[in-house]
Structure 1
Amino acid sequence: MSLSQNEFLPRAEATLAQLEGAVLDALSHHGKPSVSSLADAFREDARLSPSQLAQELCPGPLSPIGFAALVMRDLLTPEDAVLEGTVSEARVVTGNARASGSLRVTCPLIVLGDLEVAGVLEDCGPDSTVVVLGRCTAWGLQTSGNFLVLGDLVVRDVIQGVYNDDSLVVAGDLTTRFLDENDHDVTCYGEVHAEHHLENGRSGEEASSLASTFLRPEFWNIDLGELHHDTLFERIQKGEPVFTDAPQPRQVREPDRPTAEELEGLDIEGIATQASKNARAKDIVYAQRKTGEVWLMRPGSLPLHIFDGKQFLGQEMPPALDVKQRASERVTFWRKRGDLFLEIERFGAVVQFHAGYNNGSMRTFRFAFATSDAAAQEVRRLEARYEGDFLRVTTGVPGRGPLERELAKYGGPKTEYTSAIVDGTTLVTRDDERQRFDDEASALSALEDWIAGKRQSGFDLKILEWKPFGLLGRR
Structure 2
Amino acid sequence: MLLSSNEFLPRAEATLAGLKGPVSAALSHHGEPSVSSLAREFPKDAPLSPSALVQALCPGPLSPIGFAAVVMREVLPRVDAVLDASVAEPTVVTGNARASGGLRVTAPLVVLGDLEVEGVLEDCGPDSTVVVVGCCTAWGLKTSGNFLVLGDLVVRDVIQGIYNDDSLVVAGDLTTRFLDENDHDVSSYGEVHAEHHFENGRSGEEAASLASTFLVPELWNLDLGELHHDDLFERIQRGEPVFTATPQPQQRREPDAPTAEELEGLDVEGIAARASKQARAKDVVYAQRRTGEVWLLRPGSFPMHIFDGQRFLGEGPPPALDVKQRASERVTFWRKRGDLFLEIERFGAVIQLHVGINNGSLKTFRFAFETSDAAASEVRRLEARYTGDFLRVTSVIPGRGPLEREFAHYGGPKAEYTSAIVDGTTLVTRDGERHPFEDEAAALSALEDWIAAKRQAGFDLKILEWKPFGLLGRR
Instruction: Say whether the fold is shared (TM-score over 0.5).
Output: yes
Give the aligned partner of residue 237 of structure 1. Answer: 237
Q: Post-superposition shift, 1:45?
A: 4.8
Corresponding position of 2:400: 400
How much does 1:106 deviate? Answer: 1.1
Contact 1:162 1:184 in 2 (8 A): yes
Which amino acid in structure 1 is aligned with residue 369 of structure 2?
Answer: F
Aligned partners of 1:308, 1:325: CA distance in 2, in Å? Answer: 29
CA distance in 1: counterparts of 2:346 and 2:81, whole angstroms: 69
Residue 368, structure 1, aligned to residue 368, structure 2: yes
What is the identity, as a one-letter code, of the residue corresponding to 1:215? Answer: L
**Cα distance in 2 between the residues matched to 1:233 and 1:330:** 41
Mapping 1:58-77, distance limit 5 Å: 58-77=58-77
1:384 corresponds in structure 2 to 384
Cα offsets for 1:102-133 (capped at 9, x unmatched): 11111110000111111111111111100000
Whether the 8 Å contact between 1:6 and 1:46 is mirrored in structure 2 is no
Q: Distance in 2 between matches of 1:246 and 1:44?
A: 62
Shift of 1:371: 0.2
Offset of residue 472 of structure 1: 2.5
Aligned to 2:467: 467
**Which residue of 1 is the match for residue 100 of structure 2?**
100
SS at match of 1:251: coil
Q: Deviations over 1:175-204 (max 9, x none)?
A: 111000001000001111111100111111
- Aligned equivalents of 1:77, 1:370: Cα separation in 2: 93
Alignment of 1:202-351 (within 5 A): 202-351=202-351
Amino acid paired to 2:48: L
Contact 1:78 1:95 in 2 (8 A): yes
Unaligned runs of 5+ in 1: none
Within 5 Å, give how 1:137-156 maps onto structure 2: 137-156=137-156
* Distance (Å, rounded) in 1 between the aligned partners of 2:324 and 2:255: 41
Deviation at 1:43, TM superposition (A): 4.2
Q: Secondary structure at the match of 1:66?
A: helix
Find the aligned partners of 1:447 and 1:108 in 2 and give their Cα distance. Answer: 50
**Separation in 1 of the partners of 2:44 and 2:268?**
77
Give the Cα separation in 2 of the matches to 1:218 and 1:45.
59
1:37 shift after superposition:
1.1
Tell me how far apart the structure 1 counterparts of residues 324 and 226 of structure 2 sit (CA, whole Å).
Answer: 42
How many angstroms apart in 1 are the aligned matches of 2:30 and 2:121? 23
2:137 counterpart of 1:170: no
- Counterpart Cα distance in 2 of 1:74 and 1:241: 41
- In 2, the alpha carbon distance for the partners of 1:302 and 1:241 equals 49
User: What's the CA shift for 1:325?
Assistant: 1.2
User: Is contact 1:158-1:176 (8 Å) kept?
Assistant: yes
Same amino acid, percent of matched pairs: 82
Structure 1 pair 45–276 and aligned structure 2 pair: CA distance change class (3 A): farther
Question: Residue type of the partner of 1:312?
Answer: F
Three-state SS of the structure 2 residue aligned to 1:359 is coil
- The answer to whether the aligner puts 1:26 opposite 2:35 as a matched pair is no
Give 4+ residue runs of structure 1 displaced > 4 Å after superposition: none
**Residue in 2 that maps onto 1:447:** 447
**Equivalent-residue separation in structure 2 for 1:259 and 1:350 (angstroms):** 34
Structure 1 counterpart of 2:423: 423
User: Structure 1-normalised TM-score?
Assistant: 0.99
Give per-residue Cα distances to partners, 1:315-357, cap 9 Å, x unaligned. Answer: 1111111123110000000000000000000000000000000
Q: Which amino acid aligns with 1:95?
A: G
Q: CA deviation at 1:85?
A: 2.0
Q: 1:349-369, CA deviations, whole angstroms, 9 ceiling, x for partnerless residues?
A: 000000000011100000000
Number of aligned positions between the proteins: 475
**Matched letter for residue 101 of structure 2:** G
Say whether 1:136 aligns with 2:120.
no
The normalised TM-score by structure 2 is: 0.99
> Any conservation in 2 of the 1:120–1:233 contact (CA below 8 Å)?
yes
Rounded to whole Å, the distance in 1 between the matches of 2:43 and 2:175 is 40
Aligned to 1:117: 117
Q: Tell me, what secondary structure is at the counterpart of 1:223?
A: coil
- Pairing of 1:181-192 with structure 2 (within 5 A): 181-192=181-192
Distance 1:425 1:28 in 2: 57
- Opposite residue 49 of structure 2, the aligned amino acid is S
Q: Distance in 1 between matches of 2:240 and 2:75?
A: 42
Question: Do the aligned partners of 1:33 and 1:63 also contact (CA within 8 Å) in 2?
Answer: yes
Q: How much is the aligned-residue C-alpha RMSD, in angstroms?
A: 0.8
CA distance in 1, matches of 2:294, 2:324: 33
SS at match of 1:54: helix
Letter in 2 for 1:422: V
2-structure distance, mates of 1:278, 1:176: 54
> How far off its partner does 1:42 sit?
1.2
